[in-house]
């Protein structure tokens, strides 16, 4: 029988947000694996462990097994894209879209982590009319893991943005578990949840303290005050001994600055006079509706640019945030460093690559502060770290422990199909009890 270890492996590691969060909890990953070279360099510089620059659809599971020296690790974190794993024909391993997910499952099966956290976009829940997530659950059960599936908003764990993600957490210890307790209320104007819990940091609380922007990317700036302005500012400054700030630059031209000046918080490109619309937005705004669906039911044109509310949590940071999200108080987009802060990357975190690569790395990341909450939760559940497993209900065979697809009282037709597929797993368990 293989011995256990407290090692963590990260796949699809990106710039290391997930990994850095685990390191904050005392679980610095043994290694990462990522196909993007810039992201690998960002990972290694900040997380401090090796990131293998590799295509995980081609990686041999034995590579990671040998790396561990035969020990079974504590956790494997990260999740592949699942675009092809969603239809009746998707079980075809020859489909290039499926190589990542099949290889990922094979690696989990052979490496045998005690726990895994599979992270993905919320669209996974309705992909292939629910077949994608249902097939994933079936495969995880087949290789010996009991799993729980939930859509979470990471603002509930202290991230200053509403960021909806699907997490599948599983273990092969027979532990019946729940997700960590939510810690914060939140309101981005678009997604909100109010309770007796304090609110997550607002956008302005997240970015205040960074001081003036520079004009050129390679220039560094300094904090606006010697001492942090709030608790989140203090958290972000921690470890930045030089006091210098990178990636906090702005080269907005006069024409765009004029556009932005006309926008009130919450307003978008469509609220501007038509002659000020960007050409790309104009084309999308007047695109032909070919299927006959009324525009108001299609959601209309993308917002193009949007001035954010400073006293609310930010909208989801993506690879377009430093172009499209306008600062609540200044007539410019958010800087790359502001986006990094909203993703909870500390100010000393150095990113590698061109600006477009860096903002993509930031937008794709799992926010470190949320990752740390889940890392500590797994430590408590595991039992090897001093508590947990002896106080949780044990189960005899792999099963779906439960799922949460939405916090709304209602459910879309698409989610109803997913709900129907997942509920069958729960029904099977009831039949066997």
**Over the stretch 131-142, which tens digit does the pLDDT of each residue have?**
889 999 999 999
Single out the residue of 355, 341, 349, 406 nearest to residue 201, CA to CA.
341
- DSSP structure class, residue 84: T
Name the phi and psi angles at 352, rounded to 5: -115, 150
Instruction: Enter the pTM of the model.
Output: 0.92
Single out the residue of 80, 10, 15, 12 nearest to residue 358, CA to CA.
15
The pLDDT, as a whole number, for residue 373 is 98
Cα(358)–Cα(191) distance, integer angstroms: 26
The pLDDT, as a whole number, for residue 92 is 54
Calculate the alpha carbon distances from 214 to 76, 129, 167, 223, 246 in Å: 40, 47, 38, 12, 9
Residue 97: partners with Cβ closer than 8 Å, 6 or more residues away = 83, 84, 85
The pLDDT, as a whole number, for residue 427 is 76
DSSP 291-348: T---HHHHT-S--SSEEPPTTSPBPPP-TTHHHHEEPSSSSSBPPHHHHHHHTT--TT
What sign has the CA pseudo-torsion 72, 78, 80, 85?
A: positive
Going by their DSSP bridges, the two strands 146-153 and 164-171 should be labelled as antiparallel
The pLDDT, as a whole number, for residue 376 is 97
- Vertex 16: Cα angle to 15 and 20 (nearest 5): 145
pLDDT tens digit sequence for 129-182:
898 899 999 999 999 999 999 999 999 999 999 999 999 999 999 999 999 999
Catalytic residue, chosen from 31, 51, 82, 339, is 82
The pLDDT, as a whole number, for residue 324 is 95
Single out the residue of 303, 305, 315 nearest to residue 202, CA to CA.
315
H-helix or E-strand containing 50? strand 50-53
HEC readout, 199-234: ECCCHHHHHCCCCCCECCCCCCEECCCCCCCCHHHH
Domains of the chain: 8-188+368-432 (3.40.50.150), 203-364 (3.90.120.10)
What's the chain's Rg over C-alpha atoms?
A: 22
Single out the residue of 286, 287, 258, 283 nearest to residue 273, CA to CA.
258
State the 10-residue block means of pLDDT for the chain, 433 residues long: 83 98 97 97 98 94 92 94 55 64 92 96 89 92 97 98 96 95 96 94 98 96 97 98 97 95 96 87 66 46 85 96 97 98 98 98 97 97 65 80 90 93 81 47
Catalytic site includes residue 82:
yes
Three-state DSSP class for residue 390 = helix
């Amino acid at each position: 029988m293989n011995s256990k270890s407290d090692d963590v492996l990260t796949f699809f590691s990106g710039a290391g947000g997930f990994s850095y969060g685990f390191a904050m909890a005392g679980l610095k990953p043994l290694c990462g694996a990522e196909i993007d070279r810039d992201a690998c360099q960002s990972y290694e510089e900040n997380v401090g462990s090796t990131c293998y620059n590799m295509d995980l659809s081609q990686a041999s599971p034995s590579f990671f097994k040998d790396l561990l020296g035969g020990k079974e690790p504590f956790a494997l974190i990260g999740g592949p894209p699942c675009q092809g794993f969603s239809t009746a024909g998707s079980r075809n391993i020859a489909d290039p879209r499926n190589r990542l997910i099949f290889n990922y499952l094979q690696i989990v099966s052979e490496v045998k982590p005690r726990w895994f956290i599979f992270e993905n976009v919320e669209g996974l829940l309705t992909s292939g009319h629910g077949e994608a997530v249902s097939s994933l659950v079936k495969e995880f059960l087949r290789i010996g893991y009991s799993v729980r599936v939930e859509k979470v908003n990471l603002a509930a764990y202290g991230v200053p943005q509403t960021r909806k993600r699907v997490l599948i957490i599983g273990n092969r210890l027979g532990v019946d578990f729940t997700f960590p307790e939510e810690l914060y209320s939140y309101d981005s104007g678009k997604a909100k949840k109010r309770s007796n819990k304090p609110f997550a940091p607002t956008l302005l609380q997240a970015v205040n303290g960074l001081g003036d922007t520079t004009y050129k990317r390679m220039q560094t700036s300094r904090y606006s005050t010697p001492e942090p302005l709030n608790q989140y500012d203090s958290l972000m400054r921690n470890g930045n001994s030089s006091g210098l700030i990178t990636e906090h630059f702005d080269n907005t031209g006069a024409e765009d600055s004029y556009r932005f000046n006309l926008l009130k918080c919450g307003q978008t490109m469509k609220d501007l006079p038509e002659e000020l619309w960007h050409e790309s937005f104009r084309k999308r705004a007047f695109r032909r509706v070919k299927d006959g669906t009324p525009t108001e039911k299609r959601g209309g044109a993308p917002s193009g640019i949007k001035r954010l509310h400073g006293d609310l949590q930010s909208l989801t940071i993506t690879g377009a945030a430093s172009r499209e999200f306008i600062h609540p108080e200044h007539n410019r987009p958010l800087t790359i460093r502001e986006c990094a802060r909203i993703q909870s990357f500390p100010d000393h975190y150095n990113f590698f690559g061109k600006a477009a690569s860096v903002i993509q790395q930031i937008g794709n990341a799992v926010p470190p502060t949320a990752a740390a909450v889940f890392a500590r939760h797994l430590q408590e559940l595991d039992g090897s770290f001093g508590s947990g497993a002896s106080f949780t209900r044990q189960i005899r065979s792999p099963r779906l422990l439960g799922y949460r697809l939405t916090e709304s009282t209602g459910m879309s037709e698409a989610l109803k199909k997913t709900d129907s597929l997942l509920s069958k797993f729960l029904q099977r368990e009831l039949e066997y009890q």
